[in-house]
Amino acid sequence: GISSEDYEIINTIIDLLYSSANYNGDVDSLYVYFNNDNGYFISSTNRISNLGLFHDTGWYDSYQAHYASEQRVWTEFRDLKPYSFERNPIRVLTIYRKIFASGKTAPDGVLVLNIQEDQINRRLAQLVPIASELILAIDDSGRTVFHNSVGSSGSGSPPILNPAKYRQYTVPSALYPWDYHLLIDLETVYRIPNVLTRLTALLVLSAFGLGVIISFYFANRNYRDIRSIVDIIGKAKNGEELPSLPPVELVKKDVYSYILRSIVQTFLNSDFLRIQLSERKYYLRTMELLALQSQLNPHFLFNTMETIYWKAFALTGKPNDATAMLEHLSDIVHYALDSDATMVGLQEELAITRSYLEIQSYRYKDVFSVVWDIPEHIENLKVAKLILQPLVENCIYHGIREKKEPSTIAIRIRDRQSYLHIVIMDDGLGIPLNRLQEIRKEIQSEARESGEHIGLYNTNKRLQLIYDRPHLLCIYSRPGRGTCISIKLPIERSFGLSVV
C-alpha cells in the first residue's frame, strides 16, 4: 500500500496526464514509468496500469534497450492496437525522455509520449499548404519523422525528390535528435526574381536607347558651338589672334556664347597671371624661410660667448671648461652658418643638440639631466636643420630654469614607417591651461617676430615651409608635471633606404 499523501500526488499526476492528452487531440497517450519490480506505471488512458495487463508494452522494451546508453531522448515509430479486434493498428510517433533524480547518473524512469502520425502530418499540411514547399523532420538515423506532403486524411509517404530542383534549408532541433528541412521548388523561388530581372533589363535597355537618342540629338545640335570653343582654346594656347566676341545681348540668351566670351577673357590674362603668381610664391617662401632661419635666437650666441670669455680669462692655458665650451660653440656656429642646406642627417642634428646641452650644463650645473632614447638604425634619416636645439632651449628657459629641484629632459625618436616621431619632454614647471591655449594659437599664427616661445613659432613655421604640411608640431603641458613637444616628420622610402 501507499500513504495518503503519495496517493494524492499520484492522482494529481494522473489528472495532469488526462488533461494534457484530452486537450491536445494529436496526443494518443502519455506514460510515466518509475523503476519498480511490480511493473506498475501511470497511463493517461488507464490511470495506474501494469505491464502484465496493458496492451502496449513495446515502449518498455525500448526503455530497457536504452537504459544503459547516454542517450536521454530518442524517438521511434510504433503500431498500436488498443483493442484486439481492431484490424488496422494506429501508427504513432513515440518520444522517450529519461527521468533522473538529482545527483544520479542512472535513470529512475522514463516519460513516454505517443503522437498520432497522421495528426501531425495533417496539421503540418494545414500550416504550410503550398504544394511547392515541403517540410520534413528527419531523425538521426535518417528516417522521416513527419512531413506536410499528405492528403486530407493525414496519411501518405513523403515524395521522392530530385535535390537539383529544390533549394533546401536545414535547422537542427534544440529538443529532439531531429533536423528540420524546408525544401522549396527552385522554379517557385526564382519566379519573381526572374520576372524582376527581365523587367529591369527591359527598362535598362529602354533607358539606354532613349539616352542614345537624346545624346545624339543634343550632340548634333551643339556640334558647331563645341567645335568653335575647341578652336578658340587652340588659338589661345598658340598665341594666335582670337575671333571677335559674341555680342552681350546674345551672351544673355545663349549659354555657348557666354562660354566663348568667358574663355577669351580668361586666356587674355591667364598666362601672365600664372607666371607672376608662381614667381611671387617662390620668392615669398624663400624669403620667409631665410628670415625665420636667421632669427634663431641670436641672444643664445652672445650670452654664451660672454660666459665662455670670462671663464677662459680666469683659467690657465691648459684644457679646461672654457676650452670645452668654446669647442661646442664653434661646432654650433659652423653648423648653423656654414651651410645653406635645409635638410641634414639626424646624426648631425643630434650632435649639435648634444653640444648645446653640454654648454648649458656648465651654466646650469646640476640643474638638469638628459635621457636619450634613439635607436641607432634611424640616425641616417634626413630631417630639417636646427629643429631640436630651439625645442630643447625652450625646455630649459621656460620649464626648468626657475625650478628649485633638479629636472630631466627626455629626447625620444621613433621610426613609425610613414613618419619620424620626435618627442621632447621635461618634468619642469609646466604651463597653465589658458597660457597653453594662447601658445598654441601663437605658434600657428601667420607672422610673429618676438616674444616668448619664439623658438617654438620659428620651428613650427620652418617645418610647414619645408614639408608643406600643417600641424607637424604639437605641444602638451600640465602645471607642476612638465611639458611635452611632439613632432611628426613625413618619411619617403625607396630602394630599401629611408629618405625624407
pLDDT of res. 154: 44
Residue 195 lies in a domain: no
Give the mean model confidence (pLDDT) for residues 139-166. Answer: 65
Q: Residue 153: pLDDT above 50?
A: no
pLDDT tier at 48, thresholds 50, 70, 90: confident
Residue 132 lies in a domain: yes
Q: Residue 415: beta bridge partners? A: 420
Residue 486 lies in a domain: yes
226: domain range? 200-289
Residue 495 lies in a domain: yes
Residue 273 lies in a domain: yes
Q: Residue 495: pLDDT above 50?
A: no
Please state the pTM of the whole predicted model.
0.42
If residue 343 lies in a helix (H) or strand (E), which one and from where to where?
Answer: strand 343-345
How many percent of the chain have pLDDT more than 70?
Answer: 74
Q: Residue 417: pLDDT above 60?
A: yes
How far apart, in whole angstroms, are the C-alpha atoms of residue 437 and residue 454? 15
Give the mean model confidence (pLDDT) for residues 462-487. Answer: 90
Do 4 and 74 reside in the same domain of the chain? yes
Do 354 and 417 reside in the same domain of the chain? yes
With vertex at residue 55, the alpha carbon angle to CA 49 and CA 57, rounded to the nearest 5 degrees, is 80
Do 100 and 120 reside in the same domain of the chain? yes
Give the mean model confidence (pLDDT) for residues 253-265. Answer: 65
How far apart, in whole angstroms, are the C-alpha atoms of residue 430 and residue 427? 7
pLDDT of res. 494: 44
| C-alpha grid cell, residue 345 | 642627417
pLDDT of res. 148: 73
Q: Residue 196: pLDDT above 80?
A: yes
Give the mean model confidence (pLDDT) for residues 188-207. Answer: 86
pLDDT of res. 271: 63
CB neighbours of residue 124 within 10 Å: 19
pLDDT of res. 423: 96
Buried b vs exposed e over 394-416: b needs ≥16 C-beta within 10 Å? Answer: bbbbbbbbebeeebebbbebeee
Do 304 and 365 reside in the same domain of the chain? yes
SS3 424: strand
**How many folded domains does the chain comprise?**
3
For residues 381 and 350, the answer to whether their CB atoms sit within 8 Å is: no
Residue 33 lies in a domain: yes
CB neighbours of residue 156 within 10 Å: 16
pLDDT of res. 97: 92
Q: Residue 176: pLDDT above 80?
A: no
pLDDT of res. 152: 43
pLDDT of res. 219: 80
Give the mean model confidence (pLDDT) for residues 172-198. Answer: 80
CB neighbours of residue 92 within 10 Å: 24
Q: Residue 248: pLDDT above 60?
A: no
Residue 194 lies in a domain: no
Give the mean model confidence (pLDDT) for residues 99-124. Answer: 85
How far apart, in whole angstroms, are the C-alpha atoms of residue 484 and residue 259? 56
pLDDT tier at 287, thresholds 50, 70, 90: low
Do 410 and 459 reside in the same domain of the chain? yes
CATH code, 123: 3.30.450.20
How many percent of the chain have pLDDT more than 90?
Answer: 22
Do 438 and 308 reside in the same domain of the chain? yes
Do 420 and 283 reside in the same domain of the chain? no
Q: Residue 236: pLDDT above 80?
A: no
Q: How is 270-315 classified by DSSP, letter by letter?
A: HHHHHHHHHHHHHHHHHHHHHHHHHTS-HHHHHHHHHHHHHHHHHS
Do 480 and 375 reside in the same domain of the chain? yes
Radius of gyration of the chain (CA): 48
Out of 189, 213, 230, pick the residue that ends a domain.
189
How far apart, in whole angstroms, are the C-alpha atoms of residue 273 and residue 278? 9
CATH code, 305: 3.30.565.10
Do 302 and 259 reside in the same domain of the chain? no
Residue 105 lies in a domain: yes
Out of 148, 165, 189, pick the residue that ends a domain.
189
For residues 430 and 399, the answer to whether their CB atoms sit within 8 Å is: yes
pLDDT of res. 411: 95
DSSP 240: P
Do 204 and 309 reside in the same domain of the chain? no
Mean pLDDT of the chain: 79
Structure confidence by residue, pLDDT tens digits, 317-369: 666 777 777 778 877 877 877 666 788 899 999 999 999 999 898 888 888 99
Do 425 and 338 reside in the same domain of the chain? yes
End-to-end CA distance of the chain: 100
- Higher model confidence: residue 287 or residue 342? 342
Out of 289, 321, 355, pick the residue that ends a domain.
289
pLDDT tier at 159, thresholds 50, 70, 90: low
Distance of CA 306 to the CA centre of its chain: 59
Do 247 and 325 reside in the same domain of the chain? no
- Higher model confidence: residue 136 or residue 442? 442
pLDDT of res. 496: 37
Which of the residue ranges 358-367, 420-429, 460-469 has the most confident prediction, judged by mean pLDDT?
420-429
Q: Residue 194: pLDDT above 70?
A: yes
